Structure 1
Amino acid sequence: MKRAFSRKVAIALSLLVATVSSVTTLPAKAGDTYGNQRIVVPQYPKVPASDRPTYRENRPSGNMLGPAIGLGITVIQQMSRQPRYQQPDPRYQQPNPRYQRPAYRPAQPAPSKGKRPVRQVRRPAQRPNPYVSLPETLRTARAKPRIYAIGDKPFASETSFVVVLKPGLSLSVAHAFAKDYHLDLIEMSHIKLLDQVTLKLAYPEGIAGRDILEMTTDRRVARAQPNYFYYPMASAQSVAQEPFSELQYALETLGLGELDEGINGEGVRLAVIDSGIRETHPALSGVVTKKFSAFPSELSETVIMDHGTSVASIIAARAGMRGVAQKVSLLSARAFRLNEDGEVVADSFDLARCIDWSVEQGATILNLSFAGSRDQMLEAVLDAAADKGTIAVAAAGNEGGDSPVAFPAAYESVIAVTATDENDALYLFANQGEGIELAAPGVDILVAAGLEGFALQSGTSMATAHVSGAIALLKNKEPDLDVADIKKRLAEAALDLGVKGRDPQFGFGRLDAHKALFAEN
């Protein structure tokens, strides 16, 4: 610092000397020379001394030495004070440095190692969806909302909810529970598969979600949940067709064109849990051996059996068209009905009752041609059915490739089925996902329709019926096969389509019923 100050003083002194020298060496009068130039002083008329301004009497002489020295001293004084000014005040506190956002630097791409792998898109986790539906019309593929819903149909009831009591409690306890909470009991049922009483209760006016949540803390309650809605998985029927055998390409595709007469599903009980079956249709005469309705006193105006009749005809039709397993014993469990909005719909409460009844009647196969949201009560019922040796087959859904596998098809104990056409191409509106197990014909399928006619229908409901019928043939031929054996047999016999191995579009592949029936053990 001293060395720097000395250098500044030297500079100031040199400026001072230069200033003094420049002032004292200037020419004093006209005619003198400065360097090589002659100074010319302009001549002005002389003014008498008496007329001159008084201030000129005090004007300093032309010698500028004094001001120059003063300027130099001032410069030196300022330079001498500068080091002191540069010292920080001892009371000064350094402020905290402001956060500086690091500059954006794009990630460097990894070095290429040949063909890039296909990027797997991760889907956000789906929030449990209380409603399940079967679309009556073909829909374009689109992204699913956070709650699983089909089209614009509601996903759960706005007038009722479900409470499941803990195992072993009696019906009298259920009545006491409803009375304690001042709830209107619409209906209750004892689900034998779970040994639990299930209550359908009306939403009281002004009830909040936290009020229902408080019910789950009651020592008598196993769970309280929305009363989820479910809808059939089939497209609208096309114009009625004459029952020509050439319209049933599915039988040839599955390898069921010619079978021994002994392999026909005889002795096997298969429950169609749907909208009911129109037993008076010529194709289904004598097929239904037992039936159950969740609402026996329902008015005829709300009874719409079209979807259940179509599904049943694919499985067991005996006239006008050929069913996959013509001698199977069909159990009709009606859970669907027409609601006030004109939708054919079922709810969690009624579906659980139908499944429970079907297993109690000895059904070894459950055909579930509907789709919806995850439902803990329904999942528990289906798991209990599987433990008793009953296998469930369900439709993956008709909401398009952007939609995941719907429930109940997505449950581990259930076979999830997608649909293909005559050329083994994937059905355009089929849901896709890791839960898909099998594909089966489901596009332009001949079905029983109306009072005594036939039509072509498409959807994963139709594909599900083909798989259910094929399982009935397997159980007819090998009665001792359990749920795991059947799933393994069908997977190993399937015709691999799409990507090699199991994939989200076709699962293990398209069902090959003939190969599954005659596979070597």
Structure 2
Amino acid sequence: MPAQVSNGLIAALISVLLATFGAPIDGPWQGSVLGVGQASADDDDGDDSDDDDDSGSDPSDRTGPSAGNGGNPLTIFRRQAIRPQPRPVPQRQLPRHVPREIVALGLDKAAEDRLVAEGYEVRERVALATEGGAGLVRLGIPRGVSLEAARARAATLAQGAVVDMNHYYRPEQAGAEPCSEGLCLAREVVGWPPVETLADQCTVGGRIGLIDTAINGDHLAFAGGRVETIRIGQGNLPASGRQHGTAVAALLVGSRESRTPGLLPGSELIAVDAFHRGEGNDDRSAVYDLVRAIDILASRGVKVINMSLTGPANPLLERTVQRANQRDILMVAAAGNDGPRAAPLYPAAYDGVIAVTAIDRSKNAYRRAGSGAHIDIAAPGVQVWTAASVRGAQPRTGTSFAAPFVSAAAAILKASNPALTAGEIEEILQRNAEDLGAPGKDPVYGWGLLNGRAICQG
């Protein structure tokens, strides 16, 4: 008898038995029938309700790679209410900036007063430590005035100011790809020391900065850890999702006792949630908040900042990156998942930022990774095992999950020799990279694959 027919008859029989013994059978079912089922995992579709925890006490109640076939056959099904979730709007249809709003850095009071008199609205203002206390301001523009005209007017009134649209930046993630826990240990590709020997082989310590979405601080991945979260942004906006931020944070500093030990378990992480949930069910950070996040981390003495996010070029962001570089802060960013023919994305494409692309376990380039002369280095970014947003773990794919490998390596180098400058750390990473693709630096792999062995030995 064909397996499909057999499984169908068994499923029907179990349904009859459930009905006979009074078990409710109405509503959607999720789970597996005799080990053949569907994974119920936290993927990147914005749904937080179905995290794959693979960690329940009863193996028969699991789904996905670790699902078991034992136990009472009547408990093989797992019934869950499925709440309808809005699907994310495709990236190409999402807005690129806040409507009818500009941002200005270094706008003097006289120019600001003149703009207010002309009908502009000061929506928010903050002083930046990296700018010596100079102000960053959000301005709503009058009706009948275009964004281009508003930007030009503000720049004319204040010659030294940096003015642009309030562009959006978004996390760089792709759909989850299934694999077993053992096969998802992407760190082995770069020779990253096992958690058990990390402290013996590497100098671990110092602070790492993270700018990302919200983090689930109650996740077991952070039990006993040193994770500080800072929420910025407008209080009336919907909170960002926890999928992306939790996954990146756990990859960096996840507890060594958890199912998702981080690259640097026990290290201190200062995570700034600069995002909110947009109308397209996407997580987005306006450049106003992104600039503030970098400034906060710089003022806290952070020397390595991970930014697994991308967006368009913006002079305010470029200026902030330059100011961070002047403070000897090493900045690491995801190259983006728009494909090898896409235009460069930012902040990765700025000078002074290490642009990280992704490879798989066979050291092949991730098919959706960006490419170009700005690419600096490659790291694992396909099927990377890390924390899901509510509980448990799952594999993640995207340049977002390659960037933390480089941030962790930079943090080790800085902890090993605090006198190293950001430029010297970047040079060490480049010099020790495993050359892939065309000899020397190339637009696909940059200088090559991150070498974890050399980082810890050095």
Query: Equivalent residues in 2 for 1:203-218 (5 A)?
Result: 203-208=141-146, 209-218=148-157
Deviation string, structure 1 residues 15-52 (Cα, Å, up to 9, x no partner) = xxxxxxxxxxxxxxxxxxxxxxxxxxxxxxxxxxxxxx
SS of the equivalent of 2:356 reads strand
- Deviation of 1:238 after TM superposition, in Å, equals 4.9
| TM-score, structure 2 as length reference | 0.75
1:416 equivalent to 2:355? Answer: yes
- Deviation of 1:247 after TM superposition, in Å, equals 3.4
Select 2:138's aligned residue among 200, 215, 221. 200
Query: 2: distance between equivalents of 1:361 and 1:262?
Result: 28
Aligned residue type for 1:391 = L
Query: Equivalent residues in 2 for 1:345-494 (5 A)?
Result: 345-494=284-433
1:226 equivalent to 2:165? Answer: yes
Residue aligning to 2:105: 164
Residue aligning to 1:152: 93
CA gap of 1:212–1:490, structure 2 versus 1, over 3 A, is closer
SS of the equivalent of 1:514 reads helix
Aligned residue type for 2:245 = G
SS of the equivalent of 1:412 reads coil
Query: Equivalent residues in 2 for 1:7-22 (5 A)?
Result: none
Q: Do the aligned partners of 2:202 and 2:456 also contact (CA within 8 Å) in 1?
A: no
SS of the equivalent of 2:130 reads coil
Query: 2: distance between equivalents of 1:294 and 1:393?
Result: 21
Select 1:310's aligned residue among 247, 252, 270. 247
Q: Do the aligned partners of 2:232 and 2:289 also contact (CA within 8 Å) in 1?
A: yes
Query: Equivalent residues in 2 for 1:335-346 (5 A)?
Result: 335-346=274-285
Query: 1: distance between equivalents of 2:200 and 2:302?
Result: 20
CA gap of 1:440–1:199, structure 2 versus 1, over 3 A, is same
Deviation string, structure 1 residues 379-399 (Cα, Å, up to 9, x no partner) = 111111111111000011101
Residue aligning to 1:273: 211
CA gap of 1:264–1:452, structure 2 versus 1, over 3 A, is farther
Aligned residue type for 2:190 = L
Query: 2: distance between equivalents of 1:415 and 1:224?
Result: 25
RMSD of aligned alpha carbons? 2.3
Q: Do the aligned partners of 1:427 and 1:442 also contact (CA within 8 Å) in 2?
A: yes
CA gap of 1:431–1:219, structure 2 versus 1, over 3 A, is closer
Query: 1: distance between equivalents of 2:203 and 2:279?
Result: 39
- Deviation of 1:220 after TM superposition, in Å, equals 6.8
SS of the equivalent of 2:157 reads coil
SS of the equivalent of 1:422 reads coil
Query: 1: distance between equivalents of 2:211 and 2:99?
Result: 23
- Deviation of 1:175 after TM superposition, in Å, equals 6.2
Query: 2: distance between equivalents of 1:335 and 1:264?
Result: 31
Query: Equivalent residues in 2 for 1:290-309 (5 A)?
Result: 290-295=228-233, 297-298=235-236, 302-309=239-246
Query: 2: distance between equivalents of 1:297 and 1:462?
Result: 28
Residue aligning to 1:48: none
Query: 2: distance between equivalents of 1:452 and 1:201?
Result: 40
Deviation string, structure 1 residues 135-167 (Cα, Å, up to 9, x no partner) = 957xxxxxxxxxxx943222212132212225x
Unaligned ranges ≥5, structure 1: 1-134, 138-148
- Deviation of 1:296 after TM superposition, in Å, equals 6.8
SS of the equivalent of 1:193 reads helix
Aligned residue type for 1:207 = V
Select 2:190's aligned residue among 244, 254, 276. 254
Query: 2: distance between equivalents of 1:278 and 1:379?
Result: 30
Deviation string, structure 1 residues 286-326 (Cα, Å, up to 9, x no partner) = 43443322237356x53312111111111111111221111
CA gap of 1:403–1:204, structure 2 versus 1, over 3 A, is same
CA gap of 1:517–1:213, structure 2 versus 1, over 3 A, is same
Q: Do the aligned partners of 2:119 and 2:141 also contact (CA within 8 Å) in 1?
A: no
How many pairs were matched up? 366
Query: 2: distance between equivalents of 1:214 and 1:295?
Result: 26
Aligned residue type for 1:156 = H
- Deviation of 1:183 after TM superposition, in Å, equals 1.7
Query: 1: distance between equivalents of 2:320 and 2:224?
Result: 30
Deviation string, structure 1 residues 301-352 (Cα, Å, up to 9, x no partner) = 5331211111111111111122111122100111111012322101110000
Aligned residue type for 2:308 = S
CA gap of 1:468–1:510, structure 2 versus 1, over 3 A, is same
Residue aligning to 2:64: none
Query: 2: distance between equivalents of 1:203 and 1:278?
Result: 37
CA gap of 1:502–1:181, structure 2 versus 1, over 3 A, is same
- Deviation of 1:444 after TM superposition, in Å, equals 0.6
SS of the equivalent of 1:151 reads helix
Q: Do the aligned partners of 2:102 and 2:151 also contact (CA within 8 Å) in 1?
A: no
Deviation string, structure 1 residues 222-280 (Cα, Å, up to 9, x no partner) = 132110111100113356x88x4x13432211212344525566431111101122111
Query: Equivalent residues in 2 for 1:58-97 (5 A)?
Result: none
Compare relative contact order (CA 8 Å, sep 6+) and give the higher one, 1 or 2. 2
CA gap of 1:185–1:492, structure 2 versus 1, over 3 A, is same
Q: Do the aligned partners of 1:398 and 1:460 also contact (CA within 8 Å) in 2?
A: yes
SS of the equivalent of 1:253 reads helix
Query: 1: distance between equivalents of 2:365 and 2:328?
Result: 31
Q: Do the aligned partners of 1:264 and 1:327 also contact (CA within 8 Å) in 2?
A: no
Q: Do the aligned partners of 1:279 and 1:286 also contact (CA within 8 Å) in 2?
A: no
- Deviation of 1:207 after TM superposition, in Å, equals 1.1
- Deviation of 1:177 after TM superposition, in Å, equals 4.9
Q: Do the aligned partners of 2:212 and 2:273 also contact (CA within 8 Å) in 1?
A: yes
Q: Do the aligned partners of 2:414 and 2:420 also contact (CA within 8 Å) in 1?
A: yes
Q: Do the aligned partners of 1:268 and 1:472 also contact (CA within 8 Å) in 2?
A: yes
Query: Equivalent residues in 2 for 1:39-58 (5 A)?
Result: none
